[in-house]
Amino acid sequence: MLYYARFWKPERQDKGNSAFVSLTDQQVRAQARIERQRKRIRRSAIAGLILMPILTCAGVAAWFYLQSLPAKNVIVLVAEFDSPDTKKHGVTETILRQLRQATEKYPDVEIQALKKTITEQEGSQVARTTGEKRRATIVIWGWYRNPGDVVPLSVHFEVLRPPKDLPDLGQMARGNIQQVAIADLKSFTLQTRLSKEMSYLSLFTLGMVRRAAGDFEGAIDRFSAALNQNTDSSSGLNQGLVYFYRGNAYSSKGDYDFALADFNQSIKLQPTFAEAYANRAAIHMAKNDYTPALADANQAVKLKPDLAVAQNNRGVIYAATGNYDGAIADFSQTLKLIPKASSPASTDRTNTREVSSFNLNNDQENPIASFFTTDLSDYLVYVNRGFAYVSKGDSDRALADFNQAIQLQPASTLAYFNRAAVYFVKQDYDRALTDLNQVIQLQPNFDLAYAKRGSVYSFKGDYDRALADLDQAIQRQPNSAFFYTVRGEIYGKRDDFDRAIADFSQAIKLQPNLVDAYRNRGRNYREKEDYDRAIADYDQAIKLELKKAEIYNGRGWTYAQVGKFDQAIDDLDQAIKLNPGEANFYDSRGFAYAGKREYEQAIADYNQALKLKPDADYAYYHRGIVYRALGDRQKAIADFKRTIELTKKNKATSGCRKTNSRRAI
């Protein structure tokens, strides 16, 4: 290659041969082709000279990289125990046999014999170097002497590639010298105990490896196998930790009853184990048991005031029970503790999945929720505190926290989704759409994001896009009563009452106690003037939820349509009692008073509605009808003109609900 690149000069010979020869046109063209071929050969040779060392270095680097990768299987390497008479006592053979029996059902585990000793003088460095060469995960080595009635014993359990959150395995695994009776060595009692101990530690470590890989079923199996080794209290690893991590694995699978049993056992074995109390609090919360959840969170904070996860989980409990100030205080304290809690020496960062989820009810004013976790980050705490702020009605501070969360993790969907919910509450629908679009771009299979985006589109009046999003959500999750409820609401806004009723009926079939489905179906029956069915649905909704003002308002308005004005007023009194700041309720009651021809009370209610909501066009419209009935033509005309102005401004006709206003009055 070097010859062709540097020394090959065939053109010199061509010049010598053709110096005194006349060439024809055909020969000239042929010579040009030959020259082009020679240039390509020379360029290829030069490129080869440049690329060859690069490719060679890359190949060598790739070889070293592949050699540095962990083996496909988990390798446990067992050295010969250094002793005066290794074969006589069979320590190494017993450990190997027990390990192979304990792990034989795991195809990803290899138990290998090193077939040589690692001496006390060679130490841990040689053990780790040897293990690296064999691509092992665990190296077991040690020594014992036989000086008399007492046998000095040293055991080393080296984890070369520690999985995430692997705890300290205790002094016994770090080679601390133990004094063992010679009788135990001769009777093989020591060998049996030691082999079970090594199997126990190995299986626990293998469980932690599977847990770190997200294989919670595999982790549970290996933790259970470790507990079955029946090691005694001299173990370097308290069994309370094994129960703790198995409980976390069960929690990650959503098996809360099994998780709770394991955390109970962990606390029984280690009564001052703050992390176990914090995680048990999360399980109680997942089961909606708030009282024991708060008790456990308080105990965790008491035992370990700097345990960030305990502060976070207590904050979530406070938020769930309406103590938003307490929640905000706990989340703020958590943010102060996180740098300390996240240090490598901490044991706070254990694994459990989020055991609270997005609020899937149809309460559009509160569509977000806080999250439990024991794998804590400042990002998640900002999200939790943002939820507490928005629940308290402090949207600005909530937005600040969600903005901070997004700055910390721009590619995570949770903060965008929650910020969209705040924008929705603030009626900033364009920004809500922007955030929901970002959520769907980052996580296209996020079903709830489609449903929420559909809700936003419907509030913007873009019903086609709204329905397309709900169709997508339902296609992905056809058993979600919530999705059918949202789509039913959109059909109702389009006056497609039959399809709306069909969706609400499907929601009720999937979730028979879904209050909003009954309420919304009742409203659509009313719009179809099927008043008996409407009232029946409102009755059922009130049985399920006694303190929801909107239901009383809906039934009261329906009673007013059929001329049952006293029943209507009773319901509307209850609605106003539950929520005295809602203008629509006063308008409805005013309509009922007008139906009874109690015009002064009607006007008083309409005035109150307009005081609460000055742009309520429907209240002007209904008050105008009352003024006309009273013969006050001037005031009636003024109210009707104002209705027209506001209707154009609001781009809606809220005052022209489908009622027979003239007949009612």
Measured distance CA(227)–CA(217) in Å, rounded: 16
> What range does the domain containing 60 cover?
2-67
The more confident residue out of 229 and 581 is: 581
The more confident residue out of 398 and 14 is: 398
Position 581 scores a pLDDT of: 94
Residue 468: pLDDT above 70? Answer: yes
Note the Cα 422 to chain centre separation in Å.
19
- Beta pairing partners, 156: 141, 174
CB 211 within 8 A of CB 245: yes
Measured distance CA(412)–CA(132) in Å, rounded: 36
Position 375 scores a pLDDT of: 59
The CATH number of whichever domain residue 162 belongs to comes to 3.40.50
Position 64 scores a pLDDT of: 40
Range 78-101 average pLDDT:
76
251-294 pLDDT per residue, tens: 988 899 999 999 999 999 999 999 999 999 989 988 889 999 99
Range 282-311 average pLDDT:
92
Measured distance CA(174)–CA(192) in Å, rounded: 19
Range 75-99 average pLDDT:
77
> Has residue 60 been placed in a domain?
yes
Measured distance CA(332)–CA(272) in Å, rounded: 25
> Has residue 435 been placed in a domain?
no
Are 86 and 186 part of one and the same domain? yes
Among 201, 219, 237, the domain-final residue is 237
- Give CA angle at 429 (423, 435), nearest 5°: 65
Residue 63: pLDDT above 60? Answer: no
Position 45 scores a pLDDT of: 52
155-176 pLDDT per residue, tens: 888 888 887 778 777 666 665 6
Measured distance CA(389)–CA(419) in Å, rounded: 12
**Which pLDDT band, with edges at 50, 70 and 90, does 365 fall under?**
very low
Among 206, 237, 268, the domain-final residue is 237
317-331, 356-370, 373-387: segment of lowest average pLDDT: 356-370
Highest mean pLDDT: which range of 27-31, 57-61, 201-205, 323-327: 323-327
Residue with tokens 């040293």: 154
Position 343 scores a pLDDT of: 37
Q: What is the pTM of this model?
A: 0.69
DSSP 418-478: HHHHHHHHTT-HHHHHHHHHHHHHH-TT-HHHHHHHHHHHHHTT-HHHHHHHHHHHHHH-T
Alpha-carbon distances of 443 from 411, 468, 639, rounded to whole Å: 10, 18, 50
Are 59 and 131 part of one and the same domain? no
> Has residue 518 been placed in a domain?
yes
Identity at 177, one-letter amino acid code: I
Are 594 and 643 part of one and the same domain? yes
Which pair of structure tokens corresponds to residue 118? Answer: 């690692």
CB 575 within 8 A of CB 550: yes
CB 572 within 8 A of CB 553: yes
The more confident residue out of 38 and 193 is: 193
Measured distance CA(493)–CA(508) in Å, rounded: 20
Position 482 scores a pLDDT of: 94
The CATH number of whichever domain residue 501 belongs to comes to 1.25.40.10
**Which pLDDT band, with edges at 50, 70 and 90, does 442 fall under?**
very high
Residue 658: pLDDT above 50? Answer: no
CB 421 within 8 A of CB 367: yes
Residue 362: pLDDT above 60? Answer: no
Residue 76 has, within 13 A of its CA and on its CB side, a CA count of 28
Are 537 and 570 part of one and the same domain? no
Alpha-carbon distances of 189 from 99, 174, 228, 233, 390, rounded to whole Å: 17, 21, 18, 16, 64
Number of structural domains the chain divides into = 4
CB 348 within 8 A of CB 374: yes
The more confident residue out of 2 and 481 is: 481
CB 520 within 8 A of CB 492: yes
Residue 370: pLDDT above 70? Answer: no
Among 215, 237, 259, the domain-final residue is 237
Position 595 scores a pLDDT of: 95
Q: In terms of Cα–Cα distance, which of 407, 405, 252, 392 is closest to 315?
A: 392
> Has residue 473 been placed in a domain?
no
Position 342 scores a pLDDT of: 43
Highest mean pLDDT: which range of 99-108, 197-206, 247-256, 580-589: 580-589
43-52 pLDDT per residue, tens: 555 555 455 5
Q: Which residues contact 87 (CB under 8 A, 6 or more apart)?
A: none
Mean pLDDT of the chain: 81
The phi, psi pair for 187, rounded to 5°, reads: -90, 0
DSSP for residue 321: T
Range 382-397 average pLDDT:
93
Percent of the chain with pLDDT over 90: 52
Range 627-634 average pLDDT:
95
Are 201 and 79 part of one and the same domain? yes
394: left (phi over 0), alpha (psi -120 to 50) or beta: beta
Are 96 and 222 part of one and the same domain? yes
Range 315-336 average pLDDT:
94
> Has residue 108 been placed in a domain?
yes
Range 230-248 average pLDDT:
78
Are 220 and 89 part of one and the same domain? yes
Range 605-634 average pLDDT:
95
Range 222-249 average pLDDT:
82
Position 116 scores a pLDDT of: 87
Are 92 and 44 part of one and the same domain? no
Range 580-604 average pLDDT:
96
Three-state SS annotation for 50-107: HHHHHHHHHHHHHHHHHHHCCCCCEEEEEEECECCCHHHHCHHHHHHHHHHHHHCCCC
Position 203 scores a pLDDT of: 87
Position 374 scores a pLDDT of: 47
**Could you tell me how many helices (H) and strands (E) the chain has, helices first?**
32, 5
> Has residue 58 been placed in a domain?
yes
> Has residue 301 been placed in a domain?
no
Are 131 and 163 part of one and the same domain? yes
Are 47 and 82 part of one and the same domain? no
Position 172 scores a pLDDT of: 60
> Has residue 124 been placed in a domain?
yes
Position 60 scores a pLDDT of: 44
Residue 341: pLDDT above 50? Answer: no
Are 82 and 157 part of one and the same domain? yes
CB 225 within 8 A of CB 93: no
The more confident residue out of 145 and 407 is: 407
Are 37 and 94 part of one and the same domain? no
Position 199 scores a pLDDT of: 85
